[in-house]
Amino acid sequence: MTRSYDLAIVGAGIVGLGMALAAVRQGLSVAVVDRGAAATGASIRNFGFVTVTGQKAGPHWARARRSRDVWAEIAPLAGIPVLHHGLVMPAYREEAAEVLHAFLRTDMGEGCRMIGVSEAATLVPALRLDKARAVLHSPHELRVESREAVPRLADWLAEAHGVTFHWRTAVQAVVPEGLATSAGLVRAARVVVCPGDDLATLYPERIRSAGIRICTLQMLRVAPAHPVRLGAAVMSDLSFARYEGFADLPEAASLGRRLDRDAAEQRAAGIHLIAVQSADGSLVVGDSHVYGDHPAPFASERFDALILSELDAVLDLPNRHVAERWIGTYASATDRTVLVEAPEPNVRLAIVTGGTGASTAFALGEEVVGELFGLGADLFQHKEIAR
């Protein structure tokens, strides 16, 4: 602990690793401190789906575009397989089709296009298309297996870039010299705190004033009885009424009202559909959303049934079975996509507040590290840092 670093980072989830990557690319020395033996939270309990299409318009969508490019660049260097690319979005209600057409008319629709039934069936042979009103394809997304990708990214940052990781080390306070931890002082000129959904340990008053809550979600690993291939990720009508890049469009209001009638129980549980494929052929499927002041520790069998019902409405998977279930949590806010604040001159607090860390963390790291060190790395010409 006698070494001094340019930057100390609290938290080894994907946001913390995004900060570390941005810093080492600027030639800075970095230490990362995490109370766990490895990342076990939201960063690995997700789809591994780096999502661009559907992210909230403006800075967050731009972060997703940039982060996707960084993922594509570093994945082969870090030994992280990219399992598939792109996103297929069938619309089964006329109102959903109108949302997709409206999305194409926005700047975010660049590179996306409507595709025919034949092409959609080629990309995703199990897709139910007999009642589809329209199908939108996006080429922008990529999929990694988060539970493998995040540890590999940490190992690569240590081995290739000299990042020091202090695992099983609790941060007790941010002090003028750096971080006071359970293993001693980590000396650093500057600090970034990436607490994920730990809302009580460091700067709780800042987090509380931002109105951040905990979102608990349920996810499933579904094993098809016979081999299937997803040539892209899949969403459905419920997703277009939830993802802000679609849901904030004026045309989405009609879809929301239709879904309130057709799928009231799913809407109440915050359920929408994303399905992605793993290397073994199984599908990661989800998810539900319950909001509160603390994680909801017990899974609902009914929520699982509702998620699977939506899956079966979109993909034809006879005799599929659930191979794995899990609960995830993340920090959530209704009025922002990120919280970035400067509680002290050389300290930044950084939280992705909508469950999109895998999709946006690399760009957020470039923004925060660039601003903190005065490096001029503000890629998107915008600032969300409150002083």
Based on the domain organization, do 238 and 321 belong to the same domain? Answer: yes
Both structure tokens of 101: 């057409």
pLDDT in tens, 22-68: 999 999 999 999 999 988 888 889 999 999 999 999 999 999 999 99
Both structure tokens of 181: 């931890």
**Would you say 83 and 278 are in contact if contact means Cβ atoms under 8 Å apart?**
yes
Residue 68, domain member (yes or no) = no
pLDDT in tens, 83-119: 999 999 999 999 999 999 999 999 999 999 999 999 9
| pLDDT given at position 1 | 67
pLDDT in tens, 229-244: 999 999 999 999 999 9
The pLDDT confidence band at residue 386, using thresholds 50, 70 and 90, is: very low
Based on the domain organization, do 279 and 327 belong to the same domain? Answer: yes
Phi, psi angles (nearest 5°) of residue 5: -115, 155
11 forms beta bridges with none
For residue 382, is pLDDT > 60? no
Burial class (CB in 10 A: 0-12, 13-18, 19+), 375: middle
Based on the domain organization, do 22 and 103 belong to the same domain? Answer: no
pLDDT in tens, 194-232: 999 999 999 999 999 999 999 999 999 999 999 999 999
Q: Which residues contact 173 (CB under 8 A, 6 or more apart)?
A: 179, 180, 202
pLDDT in tens, 141-200: 999 999 999 999 999 999 999 999 999 999 999 999 999 999 999 999 999 999 999 999
C-alpha pair distances (Å), 368 with each of 190, 194, 206, 234, 374: 12, 11, 17, 32, 10
Q: Could you tell me which of 377, 351, 363, 350 has the C-alpha nearest to residue 62? A: 363
Based on the domain organization, do 255 and 378 belong to the same domain? Answer: no
Within a 10 A sphere around the Cβ of 77, how many other Cβ atoms?
A: 10
Residue 70, domain member (yes or no) = no
Q: Could you tell me which of 165, 164, 145, 158 has the C-alpha nearest to residue 75? A: 145
C-alpha pair distances (Å), 125 with each of 51, 53, 91: 22, 22, 16
pLDDT in tens, 329-361: 999 998 899 999 999 999 999 999 989 999 999
The pLDDT confidence band at residue 380, using thresholds 50, 70 and 90, is: very low
Based on the domain organization, do 103 and 160 belong to the same domain? Answer: no
Query: Position 143: which residue type?
Result: R
- The alpha carbon dihedral of 314, 128, 64, 279 has a sign of positive
Range 294-306 average pLDDT? 93
| pLDDT given at position 346 | 96
CATH number for the domain harbouring residue 152: 3.50.50.60
| pLDDT given at position 376 | 66
| pLDDT given at position 39 | 87
DSSP letter string over 26-61? TT--EEEE-SSSS--STTTSS--EE--TTSPTTHHH
CA 221/CA 323 separation, integer angstroms: 5
Q: Which residues contact 253 (CB under 8 A, 6 or more apart)?
A: none
| pLDDT given at position 383 | 38
Residue 75, domain member (yes or no) = no
DSSP letter string over 316-382? --TT-EEEEEEEEEEEE-SS-SEEEEEEETTEEEEEE-BS-HHHHHHHHHHHHHHHHHT----TTS-
For residue 378, is pLDDT > 60? no
Based on the domain organization, do 230 and 244 belong to the same domain? Answer: yes
Based on the domain organization, do 135 and 230 belong to the same domain? Answer: yes
Based on the domain organization, do 259 and 344 belong to the same domain? Answer: no
| pLDDT given at position 40 | 87
Based on the domain organization, do 359 and 223 belong to the same domain? Answer: no
The pLDDT confidence band at residue 296, using thresholds 50, 70 and 90, is: confident
Position with higher pLDDT, 265 vs 385: 265
Residue 94, domain member (yes or no) = yes
Query: How many domains are there within the chain?
Result: 2
Q: Of 332, 354, 372, which marks where a domain is finished?
A: 332
Reported pTM: 0.93
Domain that holds residue 158: 4-44+147-210+335-386
Residue 60, domain member (yes or no) = no
Range 251-266 average pLDDT? 96
For residue 381, is pLDDT > 90? no
C-alpha pair distances (Å), 161 with each of 241, 244, 311, 368: 41, 36, 41, 19
| pLDDT given at position 333 | 93
